Amino acid sequence: MSKLIKAAGYKPLLDKMQTEKGIKLIKDFFQQNLATELRLRRVTAPLFVLQGLGINDDLNGVERAVTFPIKDLGDKKAEVVHSLAKWKRLTLAMLNVEPGYGIYTDMNAIRADEELDNLHSLYVDQWDWEAVITKEQRNLQFLKDIVSRIYSAILRTEYLACESYPQIKPLLPQKITFVHAEDLLQMYPDKTPKEREDLIAKKYGAVFIMGIGGKLSNAEKHDGRAPDYDDWSTVNEDGKLGLNGDILIWYPILNRAFELSSMGIRVDIDALNRQLELEGKLERKELYFHKKLLNGELPLSIGGGIGQSRLCMVLLHKAHIGEIQASIWPEEMRAECEKENMPLI
């Protein structure tokens, strides 16, 4: 059954050719602003990695990676990346990147288990970025500063889109609001995590929800996170768990919260040990990536992913991510989109 969210009275503000030009405008401008804001150098990234090294992102731990045998490696299995969260940290070490600098890349992934709707596609494209930090920067205030700088780059890109296409009017507030997942639970104790996100995003327009991955006071997680990249178990200076979070905005075209980025300060040795134990994944200590981290061979870092098609979707006021990217959709959804004025590529 199609999970299409219908946008009442929707009509695209740009035709297909204007949309393609707008996508290029936004991608070129934003990635340069992001690189300048966070002092990032562009690097080339893999589409797939060898299975069994612990390099691929496990997301919530249940999504299956797309795999295939490699003839010249004796049919060893490769798997298409889910994201580059751990690969980037290995690359920072390989390139000997200094604190205060980092890398970014175009991440292209296939997520075969994704539930398809207006925001979720089999094809995922992100700006994946990672920067080296010092031990003293592993704190909540530093995380908030990085989030604010990323949001500033988003605002500048929105301004460019509105200047280039006058029919597009700005949606985003000038500041992003920070809220911890535990405080959100206390504010809306009778709501689900997604309902809480909708309520807080609608209230403030743009929010960074912190502390995602660890259990809250109701013994439930706001959302899942793998145990081996974001640090969601360290008690921060506010006395709450987590040095990570998601950037969400309120998207009136779909009348819901809209996630643009997931990011965080990454695990150090203590956090990795703690989170592997909490999640019952201690066997991962024997994997290539985890051994290097536990041996102190990887730098402390902060990083995340920013959805390319999602950012273009928001800034061009589209109702379906399939208006931005080419992917595969159920025929039922394609037919519905045609009726609802959502011309899928």
Q: Which residue type, as a one-letter code, is found at position 229?
A: Y
Q: Is the pLDDT of residue 328 over 60?
A: yes
Catalytic residue among 31, 83, 261, 262: 262
In the annotation, is 126 catalytic? yes
For 186, counting Cβ atoms within 10 Å of its Cβ (0-12 exposed, 13-18 middle, 19+ buried), the class is exposed
In the annotation, is 259 catalytic? yes
In the annotation, is 51 catalytic? no
Q: What is the mean pLDDT of residues 303-313?
A: 96
Catalytic residue among 31, 83, 121, 126: 126
pTM for the whole thing? 0.93
Q: Is the pLDDT of residue 1 over 70?
A: no
Under the banding of pLDDT at 50, 70 and 90, the label for residue 308 is very high
pLDDT tens figures, 192-233: 999 999 999 999 999 999 999 999 999 999 999 999 999 999
pLDDT tens figures, 247-274: 999 999 999 999 999 999 999 999 999 9
Catalytic residue among 79, 125, 158, 246: 246
Residue 241, strand partner residues: 235
Contact 212, 177 (CB under 8 A): no
In whole angstroms, give the CA distance from residue 320 to residue 301. 34
Furthest-apart CA pair in the chain: how many Å?
57
Q: Is the pLDDT of residue 94 over 50?
A: yes
pLDDT tens figures, 99-157: 999 999 999 988 888 889 999 999 999 999 999 999 999 999 999 999 999 999 999 99
Catalytic residue among 183, 223, 259, 336: 259
Please tell me the predicted confidence (pLDDT) of residue 2. Answer: 64
Average pLDDT, the chain: 94
Q: What is the mean pLDDT of residues 329-339?
A: 92
Q: Name all domains of the chain by residue range, CATH numbers in brackets.
A: 16-339 (3.30.930.10)
Q: Is the pLDDT of residue 62 over 90?
A: no
Orientation angle between helical segments 308-315 and 140-164, nearest 10 degrees = 50
Contact 12, 318 (CB under 8 A): yes
Catalytic residue among 31, 89, 111, 128: 111
In the annotation, is 57 catalytic? yes
CA dihedral 183, 185, 187, 191 (to 10 degrees): 160
**Which DSSP symbol is given to 11?**
-
